Every structure is written in C-alpha cells, then in structure tokens.
Amino acid sequence: MNQILNLRFATLAFLIANGIPAHAQQPMPIQRTPMVIAPTVEGMYLCDEAVADASVKDIDAAYAYCSQRKRNGSAAISRLLDTLEPGGAKGSVQVGYTATLQLLSIYQKTPQGWAIDKAKVDQFLNVIAEVKRPVVVYFSADHFDSVSPLADALRKDPVNLMQLRDGKPLELNYFGYRIIPYTLSADAAIPVNQYRFEALDYLAKRIKALPKAVQSRIVAYTLAGELHHMFPNFEGGMGSYQDIQVTDYSSSSVAGFRQWLRNKYKSIEQFNARNGFAYASFDVVPAPSKDIRKEKLTSFGEHYDAHADGTLPIAGWLWDPNKTIEQLDLYVNGQRVGPVERGMNRLDVYRAEESITTPNTGYRIDYDYSALPAGRYTAQVIAQSRGAQYKVGEVEFAVVARDQGPVKPVRFTAIKDVQNSKKLPGVRTWLDMPRGLQDVYYNPLARDWNLYRESQVYGFLNVFYDRALRAGLPAEKLYSHQIVPRVNSSWNPQLFAADQTLNGSAPWKQGLNMYGGATDSAWVREFIAQRKITDYGVPEFNPQQWKLSGTHVAAMQSHYNGGARFISPYYFSVIPDRFKGGAEHGVNRMELRPDNPKDGSDHFYRAIVEFAKQ
C-alpha cells in the first residue's frame, strides 16, 4: 500500500510541476488493471539483417529480403519499446504495441483461387510470440484494407462496394493511400465478406493454438477498423454541408431500406399517414438522393441534403482564455431552446491562430426544426457571464414548405439587453454555420434514410463481433475501432452514419479513436459517462499539440483515470530514413520521435517515456 501511495503522490507532483490542467491533477485510482500504452508501429516485418545490408535499396526489397529468410522486425520493435519503458512492461502503466493485420493481405492467388498464405500469418504471429510485451491485435477489414492483390481484384466487382446514387463506387485516396469503399452489407456470400470472415476464423484458430503465455500478452483485439459510410473527398470533406453525396445506393442497400421501413411502419398506410406521403407500396418508396433546389423531384420523398432530416447545425468556435463564460444557449426567435455544447475539437482553429492554446474551442447544437411552420427565423447563440447575456453569434434561416411556397419572416420579440461577447476580456469567436438564410426542407424519409444507414454500420460491426466470438476469441478482449465524428464540431456526422455503433449498450467494448483535442476533452468524458461506457480503449491516439507543456501527460492521465484499458499512440516507426520517401503529408507528421517537432510529435514521445515510469 505504501508503494501505491508513493506512486500517487509522485504522479501528482509531476503533474503540478509540469503545469497540467487541474482536472488531470487528481490522484490515480488505487486499484485498477494496468493501462497499456500500445503504439502503432510501422515496420513490423523489417528485419535487422535487411537494414544492415547496404545492397538493399528500398523498403519493398527489404521486406522481400526478410520474408525469404523468415525474419521479422521483432528485435527492432523490442528495442523501441525498451527505449520507451526500460526493463520491460511493469507497473500501473505499461508499454506494449499494436500489431495491425489487414485481413485481405494474407491471401495469395493459387490455381484453385484465392487462399490464405500460411507463411504471412506465421510472420505476423511470430512477431507477437517474439516481442515479450503486451499487444493489441488490430484486425483491419475496413476501407484501409486496400493494398493487396486480393483487394485489387475485389474492387473490380461492384457487388463488393458501396455506391453513390449514380450507381458508381467512389474512387478515394487518403494522403496518397488508396482506400476502397467496401460494402457494409454483412451477407457472407458477398466475396469481400467471404474472405474477411474466413480470415477472421482462421486467425482466431491460429491464435488459440499459441502458447498460453503468448495469448495472455494479448490485452485486446480491435475489430474491423473505422466502419462508416463514405463520401467524396474523404481526405478533406468531413465538414461538407453543401451538395453532399452519401452511400449506399446499391440495389441491395435500397432493398434493405425498404425492408427496414416495413419493419418500422408495419404497413404502407401507416407510413403514408405519419409522413404525409401517398406511395402505393414500400417497393416504390425511394432512397432520398435529389436536391430540391436543383433537380426535379418525382415525389418530395426524394429530397436529400445535409438538412433534410430536420436538423440544422448551429456551430462555430469560441476562445475564452479567462473562462468568463459559464454557459452557451440557443435562442430561436427570442425563445430559449436549450444549452449549446462546447469544448469540442477544432484543430483547424488551433493550427491557424498561435495565441489559441487548445483545440477544444468548438461549440455546436443540432437544432431540430422539423416542427416549425414555413417562415424566416433568427437563431442566436447567447453566452451567460456573471448574470449578464452576451451574443456570440446570430444567423437567419428559412424553413420552406414542400411546395416551395413563399417564405415570410415570423414575428418575435427579440432578447433585450444583449451585449456583444467581444466585450468580454480575451473572448474571440466565430459562427461557422449555417450560412446566412440557409433554406431547409424537412423530409421525414431523409431522417429514416439516415437512421437506416446508421443501422447498416452497426449491423456489419455486430456480425463481425459475433463472428469473432463464435471463432473463440474472448469477449472480454473484443473492442471496436471506431471514429467519433461528433467530437469535431465542424464535421458532418451524417456523412459517416456511425452514431449507433458508439452506444454503450453495444455488445462489444468500445474502442474510440481520438485525435487533437479529443484526447483530453470534457466533451469526450461526458460522452463516455452518458453512454455508461466502461473499460474502453483508444485504438488511435495523438493530441497533435505543441503549445503548452504537460498537454500529452494530461491526456494520458485523463484516460488512466477514466478506466481505459489501453491507448494506442499513432504512430512509431522502426523503418530507417533511407527507406522512407521524402514527401511529407498529414500522416507522417505524426511519427513519434524525439527529433520530429511537427504536430508536437517530439513532445508526445517524451511524455510517453515519462508517463510509463508509473
């Protein structure tokens, strides 16, 4: 007990000395499972012999060299982890690593067709056996599982892919890395699913045959990757609200939507009565896809845009360094609607303005306008500060009827005695959306379409999880590997349709990816608390900050206190510079090494070393 108390006091002293925020300066819980810092490591199969051989000129040749000799990167990974936590994994915080395996990559072409290459699986499992550290095993089966001969073959068959409304799949890249929008249908007869599920079954069988000591080092399995719907400009279009395009309009997806409507409404008569339509049967109900402003509709149910589901995001950013604002509220036509969430991630604002020292400046409320009559309305974001009200932002919007009739202002009594928030010391703010006089058309079928799309994401992950269970992987170690779009106040979560997978009632344990301000966020802590999520993991983790000392330790401490089983810093590399290309992009800025100042990567590296001493 004395050792535990000494550890708690030493940790608190370190936090205070490094200027870490007060919420992180809480003593660590006395009893809990050790938290594993499990960084993603690039170069798992790069052996020392290839690095030492000057005749090996590029990374592909190096991997081939190692594969031919049945060698891997376990020695380099072990050296890296020993640098981060000398003497092996011990204490309340332990350093391990994340071992990523793309499921489609383990197949090879044979005269009989595609078959699992046992040697590739051996190579992966040998690393796990040889590195004597805790490990998170990541079974990647999402759109990033896209660089292999089998992936090349699968992308040529439309049945394997999500489709835009024109029937075409998306051609997408992410910082130069090709991604493939695989279907979210869980039908095991679809070729891509056949291979994904077969690979999962085989890997589970092989893992269960490993020595018990090796199996015990596996602290978690993260399943499938970031599952969500897709959209154009995947790299930079997360915040698109104008002229959006979504998936999946494949024939099987639309048929699934109609069945989903049957299950919800029971009869076409009830569906029409509740939504004001006159469809003859569910077989002719469309999946909404047309913008009423630009296209002729056969029926109003076809209308779809970022606001058609009846919600209007009112969002921006607010920098309040002196913490003078106690609360934000939304008022529409002078009537209070409710509180506006704040403290959401806006890494773009943090990057753009040197004096802003945290990314957590975003605010947002998704206002449900679906019950409003047609007319022009005024939305105001109002700050409360020491008994007075201050206007943070104001915008007009227009609710338009289905027949696109004239829109008139709706009379209201304005809020009186409201000053500009810029009068508060140090406060800076901007209202990003909606644009002025944004016109909105509520289509209840668009709301159903979005809910159905969410159910597709949940359904695939649920089947993948169930498959892992039936293959014999332990339930207490099965985590998702999901993105949390709503933590970023400027993003459009409808594009992803991932919300249902993030509920605490899901059968799997939650794995929540966090970047920027999300890594240490009151908003995230509230999100986790509201959903009663416990024993979670963070399969991707990088604060991407550099302005304040102690930021990275505070973020890790926050998740220790919150009960995280593991966090996976993204990312380390054991590939020497001579094998790396010279081009810089948004991903390699995050390589964690003591000589990389970009995105605060050097700060994060040193913080891991310090935090692992616990």
Per-residue model confidence as pLDDT tens digits over 162-213: 999 999 999 999 988 899 999 999 999 999 999 999 999 999 999 999 999 9
Question: Strands, DSSP E only, in 229-374?
Answer: 311-319, 327-332, 335-339, 341-344, 362-368
* Predicted pLDDT of residue 8: 35
Question: Strands, DSSP E only, in 406-482?
Answer: 419-420, 428-433, 438-440, 478-479
* Predicted pLDDT of residue 507: 97
Same domain, 97 and 18: yes
Across all residues in the chain, what is the average pLDDT? Answer: 94
Is residue 585 one of the residues assigned to a domain? yes
* Predicted pLDDT of residue 16: 36
Task: Please state the separation of Cα 214 from the chain's center in Å.
Answer: 30
* Predicted pLDDT of residue 583: 67
Same domain, 59 and 169: yes
Mean local confidence (pLDDT), 215-230: 98
Integer Cα distance of 40 and 136 in angstroms = 9
Same domain, 46 and 80: yes
Residue 525, pLDDT > 70, answer yes
Residue 345, pLDDT > 70, answer yes
Residue 18, pLDDT > 80, answer no
Same domain, 419 and 567: no
Closest C-alpha to 562, from 592, 540, 531: 531
Integer Cα distance of 311 and 291 in angstroms = 16
**In total, how many domains does the chain have?**
2
Is residue 248 one of the residues assigned to a domain? no
Band (pLDDT 50/70/90 cuts) for residue 494 is very high
Is residue 553 one of the residues assigned to a domain? yes
Per-residue model confidence as pLDDT tens digits over 293-324: 999 999 999 999 999 999 999 999 999 999 99
Integer Cα distance of 486 and 509 in angstroms = 19
Band (pLDDT 50/70/90 cuts) for residue 586 is confident
In the DSSP assignment, the letter for residue 159 is G
**Rounded percentage of the chain residues whose pLDDT exceeds 90:** 90
Residue 27, pLDDT > 70, answer no
* Predicted pLDDT of residue 31: 60
The domain of 386 spans 311-440
* Predicted pLDDT of residue 19: 42
Closest C-alpha to 433, from 318, 291, 523, 317: 317
Is residue 603 one of the residues assigned to a domain? yes
Angle at 139 between CA 134 and CA 140, to 5 degrees: 130
Residue 11, pLDDT > 50, answer no
Band (pLDDT 50/70/90 cuts) for residue 584 is confident
Residue type (1 letter), 580: K
Same domain, 458 and 502: yes
Band (pLDDT 50/70/90 cuts) for residue 21 is very low
Of 440, 461, 494, which closes a domain?
440
Same domain, 345 and 464: no
Is residue 251 one of the residues assigned to a domain? no
Of 416, 440, 464, which closes a domain?
440
Same domain, 499 and 581: yes
Residue 4, pLDDT > 50, answer no
Same domain, 435 and 458: no
Mean local confidence (pLDDT), 233-256: 96
Half-sphere exposure of 371 (CA within 13 A, CB side): 2
* Predicted pLDDT of residue 13: 37
Instruction: Name every residue whose Cβ is closer than 8 Å to that of residue 178 and which is 6 or more positions away in sequence.
Output: 146, 147, 172
Is residue 268 one of the residues assigned to a domain? no
Q: Report whether 246 contacts 457 (CB < 8 A).
A: no
Mean local confidence (pLDDT), 475-481: 98
Mean local confidence (pLDDT), 209-234: 98
Instruction: Name every residue whose Cβ is closer than 8 Å to that of residue 538 and which is 6 or more positions away in sequence.
Output: 511, 512, 513, 514, 519, 559, 564, 566, 567, 568
Per-residue model confidence as pLDDT tens digits over 41-79: 999 999 999 999 999 999 999 999 999 999 999 999 999
**Rounded percentage of the chain residues whose pLDDT exceeds 70:** 95
* Predicted pLDDT of residue 598: 96
Mean local confidence (pLDDT), 347-363: 98
Is residue 285 one of the residues assigned to a domain? no
Burial 106-121 (b: 16+ CB within 10 A, else e): bbeeeeeebebeeebb
Question: Strands, DSSP E only, in 353-482?
Answer: 362-368, 375-385, 388-399, 419-420, 428-433, 438-440, 478-479
Domain CATH for 339: 2.60.40
> Coil, helix or strand for 473?
coil
Same domain, 422 and 563: no
Residue 124, pLDDT > 50, answer yes
* Predicted pLDDT of residue 414: 74
Same domain, 363 and 458: no
Domain CATH for 174: 3.20.20.80
Integer Cα distance of 491 and 474 in angstroms = 35
Same domain, 104 and 9: yes
Is residue 10 one of the residues assigned to a domain? yes
Of 388, 421, 440, which closes a domain?
440
Burial 46-72 (b: 16+ CB within 10 A, else e): bbbebbeeeebeebeebbebbbeeebb
Same domain, 374 and 502: no
